[in-house]
Every structure is written in structure tokens, then in C-alpha cells.
Amino acid sequence: MQYNISKKAKPVDRHPMTFMESLYIPTIAKGLTITLGHIFKKKATINYPEVQRPFSSTFRGLHILNRDEQGRERCTACGLCALSCPAEAITMESAERKAGEEHLYREEKYAAKYEINMLRCIFCGLCEEACPKDAIYLTQTFAPANFERKGFIYKKDDLLIPETEASKKLN
Ligand code: SF4
Ligand code: SF4
């Protein structure tokens, strides 16, 4: 008994080749026609990385740790982002702000260490939603390729948005 798993299956034709078939010319011509047809079609690929497609407006990429308008770090190491992270990708250590450090940290407690493991991260954006201080958000860039796993552990210095010239002058 023969079972047809897929109705698309076609039995292989094993008849002896005719004289025209043995010349291969009609088959080659048919193949070249298909190739020529594709030359004039719009390309499905782009010359990446020279050409890059714009991301969707809802794309969520690499994280950034935000500063306030005076250039102070917004993060208060409350841990809500780490708690809300389904991939357990965020780790941090908190520290208390000392006298004279008010121009560096906005809150009395700050993240002395802050790390995101981009190999674990699923870019869901829950950390951004959970943050009560508007301190973390996901940008429209992605983590570049790396040959080593440790290259995907983003530390605070990698995540912290650079100070603007204007905020440097304020401090
Ligand atoms: S985007 Fe999602 S998975 Fe990635 S660090 Fe934030 S909460 Fe975790
Ligand atoms: S990034 Fe936001 S949620 Fe995460 S520890 Fe800092 S202040 Fe809290």
C-alpha cells in the first residue's frame, strides 16, 4: 500500500532522454531565461553594512542608562528593572551617594555596578517600563557581533549615555 504524505509529491520521471534533451540546450535556455528575468527584478537583498534598512519605530535595541538635564545619573539602583526582567539579564550593586557627589548622582543611592547580559536579553522592554526614574531605555541600535561571550556583558560605562557639553558646563 502506498501512502501519500504530501499531495505535492511528484513521481520522478525516469524515461530515457530524447535527442533534444541530451543536447541540454532547451534546458540551459530555460535556466538563462529565469536568470535574465531576475536581473531586472527589484533586489530582495541590500549591500549591508554599507546600506542599512531603517528599523521599525517599535524596534527595541541596545539599552542606555539615562542622565538628567544636569548630566547626573538617574538610576537609583532600586532593582525594579532586574526584578521585572524575565531573562534575569540585569545585575547591579548599589552604593550611597557621598557629600560632594550631588553633581554626579541625582538620588541618594546610585548603581555602583550595573550590567546587562545581552546574550540573555530578549529585548522585551520590561526593564524600561518598570523603571520609576526614567533611567533606562532601549534604543534603535543593536549589539554588534563579538567573538567572545564576555563582549556581550555590557557594563555601566558601556550603557551610560555620554555627558553632553552643556551638562558638563553646569557641573
Ligand atoms: S529588555 Fe527585557 S530581557 Fe532585556 S534586560 Fe530589559 S527586561 Fe531584561
Ligand atoms: S534603571 Fe531604573 S529600575 Fe533599574 S535600578 Fe535604576 S532606577 Fe531602578
Number of domains in the chain: 1
Phi, psi of 92 (to 5 degrees): -155, 160
Atom 3, ligand 1: residue with shortest CA distance: 121
Residue 28 lies in a domain: no
CA of 19 to the centre of ligand 1 (A): 65
What is the CB-side half-sphere exposure of residue 6 using CA atoms within 13 A? 4
Q: The dihedral of CA 40, 41, 44, 46: what is its sign?
A: positive
Q: pLDDT 10s digit of each residue in the chain, 171 long?
A: 556 667 777 888 888 988 888 999 999 999 999 999 999 999 889 998 899 888 899 999 999 999 999 999 999 999 999 999 999 999 999 999 999 999 999 999 999 999 999 999 999 999 999 999 999 999 998 888 999 999 999 999 999 998 776 566 555
Ligand nearest to the CA of 106: 2
Residue 8 lies in a domain: no
| Ligand 2 closest atom vs CA 77 | 5
**Containing domain of residue 85, as a range?**
63-170
In a domain, 153, yes or no: yes
Helix and strand tally (H, E) in the chain? 6, 5
Query: The domain that contains 107 carries what CATH number?
Result: 3.30.70.3270
- Which residues contact ligand 1 via a Cβ below 6 A? 84-87, 89-90, 116, 121-127
Residue 40 falls inside a structural domain: no
Q: What is the pTM of this model?
A: 0.75
Query: Considering the domain boundaries, does residue 2 fall inside one?
Result: no
Please report whether residue 48 resides in a domain.
no
